[in-house]
Amino acid sequence: MTRRFLLVLLALSLWAASSAWAGRIVAVGDLHGDLDATRQALRLAGAIDADDRWIGGELVVVQTGDQLDRGDEERAILHLLDRLQDEAAEAGGALHILNGNHELMNARLDLRYVTEGGFADFADLAADAEPDSLLLAHEPAHRGRVAAFRPGGPCARLLAERPVVLILEGTVFVHGGLLPDHLEYGVERINKEVGDWLLGRGDPPPFIHEGSSPTWIRAYSDEVDEDDCRQLAAVLEELGAERMVVGHTVQEEGITAYCGERVWCIDTGIAAHYGNRVQVLEIDGDQVRALP
């Protein structure tokens, strides 16, 4: 089968799913180690109660990556989201969690944005790790974090279950954005190769840590121009999607739409590091709006 035929099949499957399900989706942007802000966003979405239990029923929540770095409560966030995934599924809903650039940076052991609290929070994991040359190359206080997030580590294995790109009900969710080159490489191939790498089973896509990565680009979220919008339209057409939702770039005025509302930028600086402006994006059928 040709690549074009496969894309048509993908578009038809998306259309069929959209026709059969007209539920409510809420997208949540970058969390950056702020547990209280994470709770605020999920409560605003109608997903959890005061005891952090899923009350969303068939609600679908998509978190677009960057749970890690810049804050001290990352481990609690990872555990909370992991538990809520199970509770949401049991209730007939879903919680989808994406990998952003900061998750992949940690797996690459690029730890420049980790706080001292962020290192301390994973320190106990060093005791369970073999003291090999990679661990010993890092100072003792950092070894637990390295053991947790290096490919094959317990947190890296958790991240391996999460996609880089999710296409749901005619909406593309991705931390930074998708370019035509990414479609040429293959969206499912990106997800699979990143997952395999996080499990310690091979190399990720060659561009995944570069500025051209789906987790790094800002073409649709910063100084967006007509050329960017034309490129976005071509990507969406090829995927048979209506819109793209991205995080990654803090929007000073809150959730912002560009390109005739075909891309929604939802990183509003939820975390305390960026000012704790909590907003989420609601997609309810054809209606898309920021909450509150």
Residues annotated as catalytic (active site), given as ranges: 102
Q: Where are the beta strands (DSSP E) in 170-242?
A: 171-174
C-alpha to C-alpha distance for 186 and 79, rounded to whole angstroms: 30
CA 47 from chain center: how many Å? Answer: 17
Strands, sheet with 243-246, edge to edge from the N-terminal-most edge strand: 165-168, 171-174, 243-246, 263-265, 256-258
Angle at which helices 226-239 and 3-20 cross, to 10°: 80
Residue 291 DSSP SS3: strand
Judge whether 231 and 180 are in contact, CB under 8 Å: yes
Residue 63 DSSP SS3: strand
DSSP 281: E
Neighbour tally for 12: CB within 10 Å: 11
C-alpha to C-alpha distance for 249 and 234, rounded to whole angstroms: 22
Judge whether 104 and 69 are in contact, CB under 8 Å: no
DSSP 141: G
C-alpha to C-alpha distance for 93 and 78, rounded to whole angstroms: 19
